[in-house]
Amino acid sequence: MTWLSDLEGAARTALPAPVFEYLAQGARDSVSTLESTWGWSERRFLPHVLRDVTDVDLSVPMLGSPARVPWGIAPTTQQRAVHPDGELAMAQATAAAGSVLVVSSNAGTTFADIASTGVRWWLQAYLPADRALAEPMLARAVDAGAEAVVLTVDTPVVATKYAAGDQVVWDVVDPELLRVNFDPGYEDAPGAEKALDLGPHDIVWLAEQTGLPVVAKGVLRPDDARRCVQAGAAAVWVSNHGGRQLDRAASTASCLPAVVTAVEGAAQVYVDGGIRSGLDVLAALALGADAVFLGRLPLYALVEGVGGVARMHGDLLDEAVEAFRLAGCRLVADARGVVREP
Ligand SMILES: Cc1cc2nc3c(=O)[nH]c(=O)nc-3n(C[C@H](O)[C@H](O)[C@H](O)COP(=O)(O)O)c2cc1C
């Protein structure tokens, strides 16, 4: 057991039960959540040998600007329920690692405060039935320096999840720690419910509203990936929401190669879901992802505040560098194809 591989167990011990359950749970029977990490570990590598791996460089372009590591932090809510410093700690450690932070629109810290850490950050947005209600929040993000908007496309409704105990996270967490970047009373406004009629035109609308590149998060199918790119998406993010939306959705590891083929380099392709180790990172890059995103791993690390998230970035880098050396890869581009389908 390493510190990294024991993070989930440590979080289970440290956090109030309803908070830990909220982080770990999947929708319905959690089939997709449970399968996600296995999706990476069932792939088998075909390493190169007799290659100089003295200087491993894991930097990648992400939407045009370089990131020092080929992973970013996926958007997650309730970070201030995990640690009082919440998004600020996540931002500080992620800035120091030279990575990218995607901030949930439901975050409990203002965009301006997050931006003040100097982190490179993108906004994640759900769109409401009445799109105009999202405009003030989008404007705040643009003003605070968001570099992109990530539109989550897999959540027309929030999937059912079952509670193990009497209390759920909403019973134990201060509602003030959520959605601080919306106008007061947003939730009660008519039309604030999630849009059931989301379409490619919303990618166009978001780009026009914000002037920022748009990333479509939650794509599993090659035909949908093509529709996103045709609508102008700068990147397609292969995700099943960590198994928290449609249970029994296919693993992202199994969906990634067909999406990469469909996009044909016209946009970047990112992936998340069950990435917990340097070997998982290598597997995802080998299957064609331009970069990966981490959801629960940094949330569990956040239990130890900024130091925990910093250690997560550092330990993951150590693991990834070792995996790259053993696979005979010096650069992220070298990793493409060092894997075979199961
Ligand atoms: C506690 C929690 C909250 C999340 N909140 C959001 C959110 O607000 N917006 C969003 O697009 N995805 C959200 N996600 C999904 C993540 O962005 C990501 O897709 C998923 O966690 C990746 O899988 P992993 O946790 O196995 O790494 C959330 C995930 C978790 C675990």
- Distance from C-alpha of 282 to C-alpha of 289, rounded to nearest angstrom: 10
Tell me the CA–centroid distance for residue 323 and ligand 1, in Å: 26
How many beta carbons lie within 10 A of that of residue 307, not counting itself? Answer: 12
Q: Tell whether ligand 1 has an atom less than 6 A from the beta carbon of residue 278.
A: no
Tell me the CA–centroid distance for residue 107 and ligand 1, in Å: 12
Asked if the model's pLDDT at residue 69 lies above 90, the reply is yes
Secondary structure of residue 272 in the 3-state scheme: strand
Asked if the model's pLDDT at residue 296 lies above 80, the reply is yes
- What are φ and ψ of residue 42, in 5° steps? -85, -10
Residue nearest to atom 28 of ligand 1 (CA): 76
pLDDT, tens only, 171-209: 888 888 888 999 999 989 999 999 999 999 999 999 999
Residue nearest to atom 30 of ligand 1 (CA): 76
Identify how many contiguous H helices and E strands the chain contains and give both numbers: 15, 12
Residue carrying structure tokens 């134990």: 172
**Residue-level pLDDT at 341:** 75
Percent of the chain with pLDDT over 70: 100
- The answer to whether 151 and 214 are in contact (CB under 8 A) is yes
Residue nearest to atom 21 of ligand 1 (CA): 295
Q: Tell whether ligand 1 has an atom less than 6 A from the beta carbon of residue 124.
A: yes
Domains of the chain and CATH, by start: 7-340 (3.20.20.70)
End-to-end CA gap in the chain: 26
Percent of the chain with pLDDT over 90: 94
